[in-house]
Amino acid sequence: MSSSTVITNIAALVTNDPSLGDGSPLGLVRDAAVVIEGDRVAWTGESSKAPATDNRVDAGGRAVLPGFVDSHSHLLFGGDRTEEFNARMSGRPYSAGGIRTTVAATRAATDAELEAGLTRYLAEALRQGTTTFETKSGYGLTTADESRALRVAARHTDEVTFLGAHIVAPELADDPAAYVALVTGEMLDACAPHARWIDVFCEKGAFDGDQARAILTAGKAKGLHPRIHANQLSYGPGVQLAVELDAASADHCTHLTDADVDALANSRTVATLLPGAEFSTRAQWPDARRLLDAGATVALSTDCNPGSSFTSSVPFCIALAVRDMGMTPDEAVWSATAGGAAALRRDDIGRLTPGAYADLAVLDAPSHVHLAYRPGVPLVREVWRRGVRAV
């Protein structure tokens, strides 16, 4: 029998179980406690009713919430794109740049360099409260480079995504059909054993709807489950395709027709919004309010990548979503925890209820609302992952 620990004297506890506490979607419990046994939550509720445990930790009247579930990142890459970002934000032209720059640097990196970068960004994310993350390939674009990125990623997370269809590999730029054949053939065979998910960048200049359908369908046949970069830069078929294929998530969702919003609202495909990308490119924000009012499930994630969103901070994304995307603080916190879990089709994370993993963040604040109220302030004071204090 593993020992039990109670974290008590929690001013406000987000459980994401509406049957607890105030009855809201956050299931907010005041003056609360969480009991951990092994790597799982054993009990949550009011402090005064907590069962006896072996150990006791005093949260000092702070807020506790589930660890963030960052369901969309690109952390296997070489180099960086500081100059490109600087030029863009300074209004200066920059001829090179783009995903191809990172592809060249990633191919040139050693396995150890890729893994060192991944480890660094994961530690950075953990310090900011992220206890689960998804990450993707997509900067190798050869069979060998894509499969090695996935092997490295799989040493650090179960949520690994094959994104061979990020862009057409530069050497096949004149023959996209040949690249789609590679991605759905030899590359998929080599990558499928190391991944849970398959993803496509469905966008003008990347892959059209028919190509995306062919790639995701091939992935499904190999046991991978689809998710899609959809409707980021322009209107397009990505969201409808995501719903058609029962993708776990349609990611970005910045340019949506009413039919796209309806399709998401009437499906179990989550709309994952990635405001770091709009922030870092000065682009139009996705309209979270419209999706929520229609009844769609919304997740918030970082899209951490060296080109268009080089942030690992979920709290920053929460602040942006509240300030600029029409979300309430409660909705944004739900979307960054339970919403992320839904986007990964997981029910053992993103909530603090019996049976879930004991993944949680303690804030140096009395309420989860402070994540939006105090933007840019490092409020995450402690992080517990799998029942162990990690930060």
Smallest gap, in angstroms, from Cβ of residue 301 to Zn ion? 9
What does R_g of the chain's alpha carbons equal in angstroms?
21
Smallest gap, in angstroms, from Cβ of residue 229 to Zn ion? 5
Looking at beta carbons only, is 203 or 303 nearer to Zn ion? 303
- The span of 126-134, 144-152, 300-308, 362-370 binding Zn ion (CB under 5 A) equals 300-308
Smallest gap, in angstroms, from Cβ of residue 190 to Zn ion? 22
CA 324, CA 387: separation in Å to the nearest integer? Answer: 35
Looking at beta carbons only, is 62 or 229 nearer to Zn ion? 229
Specify the length of the chain in residues: 391
Smallest gap, in angstroms, from Cβ of residue 49 to Zn ion? 43
Smallest gap, in angstroms, from Cβ of residue 303 to Zn ion? 5
Residues annotated within a binding site for Fe(3+): 72, 74, 229, 303
CA 58, CA 72: separation in Å to the nearest integer? Answer: 33
Looking at beta carbons only, is 136 or 351 nearer to Zn ion? 136
CA 28, CA 13: separation in Å to the nearest integer? Answer: 6
Smallest gap, in angstroms, from Cβ of residue 73 to Zn ion? 8
Task: Name the closest residue to Zn ion (Cβ).
Answer: 303
CA distances, 162 to each of 149, 189, 250 (Å): 9, 11, 15
Q: Which two tokens stand for residue 263?
A: 């399709």
- Chain position carrying tokens 């960004």: 121
**84 counts as binding Zn ion under rule CB under 5 A:** no
Smallest gap, in angstroms, from Cβ of residue 202 to Zn ion? 12
- The span of 28-36, 117-125, 145-153, 296-304 binding Zn ion (CB under 5 A) equals 296-304
Smallest gap, in angstroms, from Cβ of residue 309 to Zn ion? 8
CA 40, CA 359: separation in Å to the nearest integer? Answer: 8
Q: Write the DSSP symbol of residue 163.
A: E
> Residue 328's Cα: distance from chain center in Å?
19
Strand order of the sheet with strand 249-252? 135-136, 160-165, 197-202, 225-230, 249-252, 270-273, 298-300
Looking at beta carbons only, is 99 or 333 nearer to Zn ion? 99
283: left (phi over 0), alpha (psi -120 to 50) or beta: beta
| Torsion angle defined by CA atoms of residues 146, 248, 359 and 111, in that order, rounded to the nearest 10 degrees | 0
CA 9, CA 132: separation in Å to the nearest integer? Answer: 25
Spell out the alpha helix ranges (H) of 71-196.
Answer: 82-89, 99-108, 111-127, 143-154, 176-184, 186-191
Looking at beta carbons only, is 136 or 385 nearer to Zn ion? 136
Looking at beta carbons only, is 135 or 337 nearer to Zn ion? 135
Smallest gap, in angstroms, from Cβ of residue 72 to Zn ion? 6
- The span of 167-175, 259-267, 290-298, 299-307 binding Zn ion (CB under 5 A) equals 299-307
Looking at beta carbons only, is 307 or 387 nearer to Zn ion? 307
281 touches 305 (CB < 8 A): no
Residues annotated within a binding site for 4-imidazolone-5-propanoate: 81, 139, 166, 232, 308
**303 counts as binding Zn ion under rule CB under 5 A:** yes
**159 counts as binding Zn ion under rule CB under 5 A:** no
**260 counts as binding Zn ion under rule CB under 5 A:** no
Tell me the β-bridge partners of 384. Answer: 360, 389
Looking at beta carbons only, is 7 or 165 nearer to Zn ion? 165
Element (H, E) at 260: helix 258-265
**278 counts as binding Zn ion under rule CB under 5 A:** no
- The span of 12-20, 81-89, 280-288, 301-309 binding Zn ion (CB under 5 A) equals 301-309
Residues annotated within a binding site for N-formimidoyl-L-glutamate: 139, 305, 307
Residues annotated within a binding site for Zn(2+): 72, 74, 229, 303
Looking at beta carbons only, is 159 or 303 nearer to Zn ion? 303
Q: Write the DSSP symbol of residue 335.
A: I
Compute how many residues bind Zn ion; rule: CB under 5 A.
1
Residues annotated within a binding site: 72, 74, 81, 139, 166, 229, 232, 303, 305, 307-308
Contacting residues toward Zn ion, per CB under 5 A: 303
